[in-house]
């Protein structure tokens, strides 16, 4: 559960082509760890940390979400 992909699957993808822009959601790790509500056996709701491939960058660790339409 530590690997990252070279490319997100979109071809061509201008974001995968660059290595100088780190995904701001996962900070380049290509994984993120959100917390989800979880009800345990006694009915108490707690938060559970899960780990899953970063959807924002397609598990590449590279920024894939331009803030605006204009790329500098």
Query: Is the CB of residue 46 less than 8 Å from the CB of residue 40?
Result: yes
Q: Does 56 bind Zn ion (CB under 5 A)?
A: yes
Angstrom distance (rounded) from CA 56 to CA 24? 9
Task: Between 46 and 50, name the residue whose CB sits nearer to Zn ion.
Answer: 50
Among the listed residues 3, 16, 21, 69, the single contact to Zn ion using CB under 5 A: 16
- Give residues with Cβ within 8 angstroms of 47, minimum separation 6: 35, 36, 37, 38
Nearer to Zn ion, 19 or 40 (CB): 19
Asked if 4 interacts with Zn ion (CB under 5 A), we say: no
The distance of closest approach from Cβ of residue 47 to Zn ion in the complex, given in angstroms and rounded to an integer, is: 21
């Amino acid at each position: 559960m530590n690997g990252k992909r070279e490319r997100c699957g979109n071809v061509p993808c201008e974001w995968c082509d660059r290595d100088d822009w780190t995904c701001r959601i996962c900070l380049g790790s290509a994984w993120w760890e959100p917390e989800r509500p979880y009800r345990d056996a006694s009915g108490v709701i707690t938060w559970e940390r899960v780990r899953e491939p970063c959807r924002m960058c397609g598990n590449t660790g590279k920024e894939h979400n331009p803030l605006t339409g204009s790329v500098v």
